[in-house]
């Protein structure tokens, strides 16, 4: 079978390509970077439409596809594709004002709806907060000192590691056991922002602390670095929604792939270089 992976150089796409290649699948990796390096045998394609020729299943990443999303699904319906696996999000049903990823190009609600209404076999993956988000938000601060500044110290998340999402996506593409499901995916335990920073400190052997910053200050910082007021307001609203309330924890990763989800501490330990002063 031939499987198309859109967003193939992304946080989920790259480990998914590796999983599928290891399983012996013919994989077409869709990326805007024709020089991207993948395992031997993986076909690199710059156009999702070219990739669909003769394909049997497609992994849909709405951010990567952008305005082409609807047309790619329509082309898949007219071709030989029999299954769509959509990368959505745990909060896809929330009001858009609490979905900061929409301001980065994600269309979680839409990609899921396209898959469901396609008439093809479908699976929607609904991961929560990615562990990798915390590297982007906190790594530079931790390399510079022992204090992480941010909003809502008590906001709770259950970070999921990108490779676990990819492992579930591979199972969804290679079997029918998840067909017709919207699968909520989280890490194995919920933590507050303060606790997550303490975990990073414990792994690094440093006494790190989280300093709560007023929301208006955070908003100004986001706008100053170019993320925009919409993203800032949605991010703050999302955190406020989870303040002092443990985040949802599911155990779908272990049920589906047969091994426990990677813990946040394990993820940090495997990437400690991101957080060290020598990085």
**pLDDT reported for residue 27:** 98
How much is the average pLDDT of 169-175?
98
Q: Given a cut of 80, is residue 260 above it in pLDDT?
A: yes
Q: Given a cut of 80, is residue 256 above it in pLDDT?
A: yes
**pLDDT reported for residue 279:** 44
Q: How far is CA 41 from CA 27, 172, 223, 241, in A?
A: 8, 21, 43, 45
Taking only the tens place, the pLDDT of each residue in 92-102 is: 999 999 999 99
Q: How far is CA 23 from CA 41, 111, 120, 142, in A?
A: 12, 26, 23, 38
CATH code reported for the domain at 2-128+161-185+248-261: 3.40.50.720
pTM, two decimal places: 0.94
Q: Which helix (H) or strand (E) holds 227?
A: none
* Ranges of H-type helices in the chain: 13-22, 48-51, 62-65, 69-78, 108-116, 132-144, 162-174, 193-204, 215-224, 228-242, 252-257, 264-270
Cβ neighbours of 86 (radius 10 Å): 30
Q: Work out the percent of the chain whose per-residue pLDDT is above 70.
A: 99
Taking only the tens place, the pLDDT of each residue in 123-165 is: 999 999 999 999 988 999 999 999 999 899 999 999 999 999 9
**pLDDT reported for residue 136:** 87
Where along the chain do its domains lie? 2-128+161-185+248-261
Q: Which helix (H) or strand (E) holds 183?
A: strand 182-185
Q: Given a cut of 80, is residue 113 above it in pLDDT?
A: yes
Please answer whether residues 241 and 235 qualify as being in contact, where contact means their C-beta atoms are separated by less than 8 angstroms. Answer: no
How much is the average pLDDT of 97-119?
95
């Amino acid at each position: 079978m031939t499987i198309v992976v859109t967003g193939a150089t992304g946080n989920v796409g790259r480990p998914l390509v590796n999983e599928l290649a290891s399983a012996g699948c013919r994989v077409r990796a869709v990326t805007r970077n024709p020089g991207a390096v993948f395992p031997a045998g993986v076909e690199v394609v710059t156009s999702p439409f070219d990739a669909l020729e003769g394909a049997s299943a497609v992994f849909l990443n709405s951010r990567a596809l952008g305005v082409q999303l609807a047309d790619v699904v329509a082309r898949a319906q007219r071709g030989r594709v029999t299954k769509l696996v959509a990368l959505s999000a745990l909060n896809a049903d929330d009001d858009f004002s609490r979905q900061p990823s929409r301001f980065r190009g994600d269309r979680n609600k839409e990609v899921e709806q396209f898959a469901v209404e396609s008439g093809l076999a479908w699976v929607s993956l609904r991961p929560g907060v990615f562990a990798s988000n915390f590297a982007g938000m906190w790594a530079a601060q931790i390399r510079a000192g022992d204090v992480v500044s941010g909003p809502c110290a008590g906001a709770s998340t259950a970070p999921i590691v990108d490779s676990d999402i990819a492992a579930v996506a591979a199972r969804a593409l290679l079997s029918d056991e998840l067909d017709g499901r919207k699968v909520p995916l989280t890490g194995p335990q919920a933590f507050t922002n303060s606790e997550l920073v303490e975990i990073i400190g414990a792994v690094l052997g440093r006494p790190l602390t989280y300093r709560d910053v007023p929301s208006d200050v955070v908003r100004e910082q986001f706008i100053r670095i170019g993320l925009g007021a919409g993203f800032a307001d949605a991010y703050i609203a999302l955190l406020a929604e989870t303040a002092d309330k443990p985040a949802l924890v599911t155990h779908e990763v272990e049920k589906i792939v047969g091994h426990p989800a990677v813990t946040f501490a394990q993820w940090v330990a495997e990437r400690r270089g991101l957080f060290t002063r020598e990085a």
